[in-house]
Amino acid sequence: MLFESLPNETLLQILHSITSVQDVLSLSLTSHRLHNLLSRPAQRLPILFDAAERQYGPLSSAIAVVTYYPSQLPHIHRPSPPQSLSLLKQLLHVGQVANTWADLYPFTYWRGTEQDCASRRLLSEHERYRVRRACYRVWLYGLAFHTPNFGRYTRLQPPVVRSRAALLRAWTTRELGEILDFQSMMRVVLELFVCPSDGTIIHRHKERYGETPLISLVHPSGAKLRCYDHYTYTRTAQHTDMWEGWGGDVEHYYVVEDMLKLHPGQLLELYEFVVNGKGLLPLLDGAITQNSNAAVKAFVAGLGEWFENNGETLGETIKFVISERGDEEVGGCGDLVLE
């Protein structure tokens, strides 16, 4: 039997079973009949949202992100908005970010030793679902509590702690562990790529180029170097702009704690710029740069003074909620996301 000869009810059932929005749209372009079926809003939107649920679900968590407004309490359940193309576009954006994090998960969990690399595999659909769910929840928490309204001097005030904990109490202990696992992945991305420490830069350089120095000292006159002369630093051929560290171990720790306040969309944007060279980050004066270190620092400076020396609060709030329940600490090592 030809596909075109199937009744409309069967064709609609097939469309409802497709697992990606792109596949639905592509199939609708294969014939006038399928295109006409999807041209009716009463049929198009449910089909597209069903596909989005399979591809980017859970949509309920994603909707909480795209519909969040600062004047609303994040832990108060809000009815889902009516289906619309505008809402779908926003869900596709955050969903693509969440799926990209799911793609990165194997490379951050199985890393380091040869045995880890040999064990690396793709995530199952259920595992990808957990990563996306954790991504949306970290994103929602960041929109609600990693803002200028919550400075470093208010983070321990009891009303503020209770407001943060109210959001997390709606989730099970295992789901809170999955959030810690996702935050650990964000930490790895920060430490290895976006803002590596001086020690990481030196170690990476020695692995690639041996004992070749990152910089050399050159006197402006070209004369023989003396200890009291003024020298200028020049990069060697192996020193690129992206190889600029973010301080020693102690200083770097606080930098990472600050950077963990970025929501997954912001951090992914920085990661793609540093690693893949996608996009150009503007500097404060409006100029454009390819220097990853300068661009990231300018991006952070543009967020405001509240961002610096004000570490993330998600991890400590999760521990607070888990201690309230009398449960043991969970998460943080990636195991809860995996089956």
pLDDT in tens, 204-260: 777 777 776 655 444 444 444 444 333 344 444 444 444 567 888 899 999 999 999
| pLDDT given at position 333 | 64
pLDDT along the chain (339 residues), means of 10: 81 91 92 87 91 96 94 85 94 97 92 77 94 97 94 89 94 94 95 89 76 52 42 44 72 94 95 76 47 83 90 94 84 66
| pLDDT given at position 207 | 75
Terminal Cα distance for the chain, rounded:
41
- CB contact set of 62 (below 8 Å; sequence gap of 6+): 56, 91, 94, 95, 98, 132, 136
Q: What is the DSSP string of 140-156?
A: HHHHHHSSTTS-TTTTT
Sign of CA dihedral 249, 194, 104, 52: positive
Reduced to 3 states, what is the DSSP secondary structure of residue 264?
helix
- Distance in angstroms (rounded) separating the CA atoms of residues 338 and 225: 57
Give the torsion through C-alpha atoms of 255, 261, 266, 270, to 10 deg.
Answer: 10
| pLDDT given at position 95 | 98
| pLDDT given at position 225 | 41
| pLDDT given at position 283 | 45
- CB contact set of 142 (below 8 Å; sequence gap of 6+): 261, 262, 263, 264, 314
**DSSP structure class, residue 130:** H
**DSSP structure class, residue 37:** H
| pLDDT given at position 233 | 41
| pLDDT given at position 200 | 84
The label of the residue with tokens 């996306």 reads: 132
Alpha helices in the chain (DSSP H): 8-16, 21-28, 32-38, 41-56, 59-66, 85-109, 114-119, 125-145, 158-168, 173-189, 198-209, 249-259, 264-271, 292-301, 314-325
For residue 148, which of 315, 327, 308 has the smallest C-alpha distance?
Answer: 308
Tokens found for residue 164? 């943060």
| pLDDT given at position 51 | 96
| pLDDT given at position 254 | 94
Question: What does the angle CA 208 – CA 214 – CA 218 come to, to the nearest 5 degrees?
Answer: 150
Other CB atoms within 10 Å distance of the CB of residue 109: 21
Sign of CA dihedral 333, 336, 337, 339: positive
